[in-house]
Structure 1
Amino acid sequence: MPTIVSCPTCGAKVEWTEKSRYRPFCSERCQQIDLGAWAEEKYTIPGGPPDDPLADPDADPAP
């Protein structure tokens, strides 16, 4: 029995199989809506600012 997941965009039920071309999305439309949300920075991944790759790793940290 295939695994059933909910489309992250619209909530429709999707079979997690090879024939589900856009999984976990139900359609190309829902996939594109999600991609657009990432491009518009509607989603974020929590974390601190990136490390400065040019900083001296042996330097004392700022007080």
Structure 2
Amino acid sequence: MSLTVKCPTCQTPVTWNAEAEFKPFCSERCKLIDLGDWASEKNAIPVKPEFAPELLDQLGYDDADFFLDNNPFEDDKNR
């Protein structure tokens, strides 16, 4: 018994089996179109931000300090 699904790009029916080279896509073209959509961020997985970015300014966050090597939890002798 084989399963038939719709190609995510063009909605063409695709038989889901071992011989279906581009499953779930119907062709390499549709696969590459989908990849391009992800690469250009046309497709994205929605996420809920954990905090509001404007709060970073209120907290005194500075991009320049982000990569400084000053870990307050690290002993000087371990450097």
Report the TM-score, using the length of structure 1 for normalisation.
0.74
Any runs of at least 4 consecutive aligned residues in structure 1 with deviations exceeding 2 A, and if so which? none
Structure 2, unaligned stretches of length 5 or more?
Answer: 51-65, 67-79
Question: Equivalent residue for 2:23?
Answer: 23
Question: Equivalent residue for 2:55?
Answer: none
Q: Displacement, 1:38?
A: 0.3
Alignment identity in percent? 51
Task: Work out which structure has the larger RCO, using CA pairs closer than 8 Å and 6 or more positions apart in sequence.
Answer: 1
Structure 1, unaligned stretches of length 5 or more?
Answer: 55-63
Report the TM-score, using the length of structure 2 for normalisation.
0.59
Secondary structure of the residue aligned to 1:5 is strand
Pairs aligned (count): 51
Superposition RMSD on alpha carbons, in Å?
1.7
Structure with the bigger percentage of helix: 2
Higher alpha-carbon Rg: 2
